[in-house]
Amino acid sequence: MSETLIGLQGMTTARLRLAPLRAADAAALSAITDDPAIVANIHFLQSPFTPTDAAALISGSGDGRDCFVGAWHGSDLVGVVGAHLGGDDRIEIGYWVASQKQGRGYATEAAGAVIAVLRSRFPARRIFAECRRDNRASWRVLEKLGFRASGKPGARPERQELLFDQADAAARR
């Protein structure tokens, strides 16, 4: 049986409660995602991003290879971290934070917690992300987390691949 992200557990950080999104979270997901600044940077999101779209994203394809983790500050959904199993040896992560909540460190905090869980659960897999070089804020988040440019283009247009470096991440703590 192949690995899945089904059963990914919730977690907490100093400020956030993180848990895989559920169908009941579709309205909150739509509210933070239906923003031109967000949908323009994430290839699989459309505009408008409705609660129906959010419910479809949360339910996924049913194979357990994708999981979207909500980052909650109190009762507010402030961001999302996506994890996607690729092949037998890779996990892609991505994230977005509600525009009005950006610049507060939520992306770094949430993605860092999800990466820690993924490293524990899938120690043999490489974690990677794709980012546009001109998306400086996201690029900085990835560098803070311990990602380094691989020198390879991403699979998506105009994106670069960045690989998580466990040793570099540990040195930054």
Tens digits of residue pLDDT in 44-98: 999 999 999 999 999 988 899 999 999 999 999 999 999 999 888 999 999 999 9
pLDDT higher at 71 or 4:
71
Cβ atoms of 151 and 163 within 8 Å: the answer is: no
Closest C-alpha to 99, from 26, 49, 55, 33: 33
Characterize the bridge pairing of strands 90-97 and 76-86.
Answer: antiparallel
- Element (DSSP H or E) covering residue 149: strand 147-153
Domain boundaries, the chain: 11-122+136-144
Best CATH choice for the domain 11-122+136-144 from the list 1.10.3720.10, 3.40.50.720, 3.40.630.30, 3.30.1240.10: 3.40.630.30
- pTM assigned to the model: 0.93
What is d(CA 147, CA 27) in angstroms, rounded to the nearest whole number?
Answer: 32
Strand partners, 127: 91
Q: How far is CA 94 from the centre of its chain?
A: 3
In this prediction, residue 170 has a pLDDT band, given cuts at 50, 70 and 90, of low
The mean pLDDT value of the chain amounts to 93
pLDDT for res 173: 52
